[in-house]
Chains A and B, each alone.
Chain A
Amino acid sequence: MTQAAVAGIGQTRYAKNMGRSEIELAASAIRGACADAGLPVSAIDGIVSYHVEQVAEVELFTTLGISELRFMARTPSGGGGAASLIGLAALAVSNGTAEHVIAFRARNRSKAASYGADPNQGGRPWAKAPPRLRDVRQWQHPFGVASPAQEMALIARRHMHVFGTRAEHFGMQAVVQRFHASRNPDAIMRDEITLDDWAASRPIADPIRLFDCSLENDGAAAILVTSLERARDLAQPAVSVLSQVQYGAPIHTELSAFFATTAAFGERGGGAVVGGRRLFATAGLTPADVDVAMIVEPFTIAVPLALEQYGFCPMGDGGPFIESGATRWPDGALPVNTHGGSNGEAFVHGVNHLPEAVRQLRGNACNQVVGAQIAFVCGAISDPSGAVLLGVDR
């Protein structure tokens, strides 16, 4: 097996209503990743995205002038697939299917872009709900549950009941990430907030408040994965892909199944608990070896859930772990989302978390963890998802 590595990262500006189509945003971020690596775009021979992506491979093929595509793959599911973009790309490189694989996500949330009736297209789920329900929405919409915030609120409340987590714990992570964002010139939200500000932000779906929620913005991010050997010849310090896992799990958009089957906080095991063990075992590492973590969080509740299920703290201790300051740069034992995350930097279904992990291992992040050697990245925990471990090339 060939060792895979990240050789390039790219991202557009993040902002509301940029007026650029998703194909333009995608092409811009991908060209940026290639330029970062010092590689011509024509060298791309693999494309990885996930199923909510509205930019088709064929569009990129023609728009970017890629002449020989050998590998195309998509992973489920919403924000759950973010880290697995690197995982899939690394698999293709490791087995020799492709040499230079680009992984990306592009979003334009304006009605002029991918807005449409399909649940995977842009637009607010409650605003575009159909009057007649033929899919999984029939189990929730008649009872006024239609948005991810409302679904995650039901998951959060259960976590609070089982483990004694407090809504303020979610707020504390929101404050941490907004602090990180305040020092990130690329972040949309540059003003710090206090826990009082969080408590004063309007309730969306109790216990979730506005400042727990991801931003709504346009933008794109891209990652270039190649072999470690090839990456060493390119322009940037190589970042090794040490291990990757995907795991199947129920999704928050079907709460009846979510609570009935595995992975509801690992109360029954499965999901990220098992996936996490595989992730660390494959790399010969433990959670204690991780220097910095990027945890994709459509809502801040996802951070304690991931910390627990991947073994960074005992099950149920995610709230107190955050309260201890562990997730806050620079002094925390495990700084989380050092770019500001989805409520601070931008929301690109978590794909903006990938370049930040790479910057940390290159040593040039805005909130640099001194001497960071190992970075952990996981997708949103309430979906079928996955994770990767990245490491400095030694």
Chain B
Amino acid sequence: MSALPRPDPTDEDDAQFWAALRAGNLCIQRCAVCGMFRHPPRPICARCGATEREWRPVSGAGEVWSFTVVHPPTLAAFADRTPYAAVVVRLDEEVFLVSNLIDCPIRELAVGMRVEVALTQVAAGEDVDDDLVLPLFRRM
């Protein structure tokens, strides 16, 4: 199996999302002035215009907003997993994450299902040092 495509952002804000996961927390960027959460990270608040920003640990609870069942062709790293489900999760903080569910058979997938984050470690590839931690989700 091909190695999982690995986030390796040059953008500082993007990098902090993945660093927090490695430290064991799902953190979402938030405007430090008006408090609005946003994802993906941005350098400025779309609501109040402030550039001050912070990373807040979130509960990781949310709902399945949508899902698809992926068949070939797809990324090489996922080729031997087809058919597999991909989901969009709406966190209770009103941000959206593309993810996968663990421990949920495809036939039981449903929009609106309550889920919680399951930080999942993926082994490092041959040419990298750090393990990758992904925010996957499980049914509540």
Taking Cβ atoms with an 8 Å cutoff, the residues of A that contact B are 124, 126-127, 129-134, 136-147, 150, 153-155, 157-158, 161, 202-208, 254-257, 259-260
Contacts and interface: CB of A to CB of B under 8 A. Distances in A.
Contacts of B86: 143-145, 150, 154
A154 B67 contact: yes
30 contacts: A126-B75, A127-B76, A131-B3, A132-B5, A133-B6, A133-B7, A134-B9, A136-B40, A139-B97, A139-B98, A141-B5, A142-B4, A142-B5, A144-B75, A144-B81, A144-B84, A145-B68, A154-B66, A154-B87, A157-B111, A158-B65, A158-B66, A161-B111, A161-B112, A205-B71, A206-B69, A255-B96, A259-B66, A260-B94, A260-B96
B65 A150 contact: no
A131 B10 contact: no
Given A134-B8, A138-B14, A254-B40, A146 B94 contact: no
Contacts of B96: 255-257, 259-260
B71 A204 contact: yes
Given A138-B9, A145-B86, A203-B83, 12 more contacts: A132-B5, A133-B5, A134-B10, A142-B7, A142-B132, A153-B70, A154-B66, A154-B88, A157-B67, A161-B111, A259-B65, A260-B38
Contacts of B136: 143
B90 interface: yes
A154 to B, nearest CB: 5
Contacts, number: 134
Interface in B5-37: 5-11, 14, 18
Interface centre among A144, A150, A161, A207 (most CB of B within 10 A): A144
Contact of B6 (A131, A157, A255): A131
A134 B84 CA distance: 25
B73 interface: yes
Contacts of A203: 69, 71, 83
B27 to A, nearest CB: 15
Nearest to B86: A145
Contacts of B83: 203, 206
A132 B14 CA distance: 13
Contacts of A202: 71
A154 B87 CA distance: 7
B95 interface: yes
Residue among B84, B99, B112 facing the most chain A CB atoms (10 A cut-off): B99
A207 B4 CA distance: 25
Contacts of B66: 154-155, 157-158, 161, 259
B99 to A, nearest CB: 5
Given A131-B5, A256-B96, A144 B69 contact: no
A14 B8 CA distance: 39
B6 to A, nearest CB: 6
A256 B71 contact: no
A143 B135 CA distance: 9
B78 interface: yes
- Specify which of B8, B68, B134, B136 lies most central, judged by the most chain A CB atoms within 10 Å of its CB: B68
A126 to B, nearest CB: 5
A124 B76 CA distance: 12
Contact of B75 (A141, A206, A255): A141
B71 A130 contact: no
Most chain A C-beta atoms within 10 Å of own C-beta, residue among B18, B65, B87, B94: B65
Contacts of B9: 133-134, 138
A72 B66 CA distance: 40
Contacts of B88: 154, 158, 255-256, 259
A126 B73 contact: yes
A139 B14 CA distance: 10
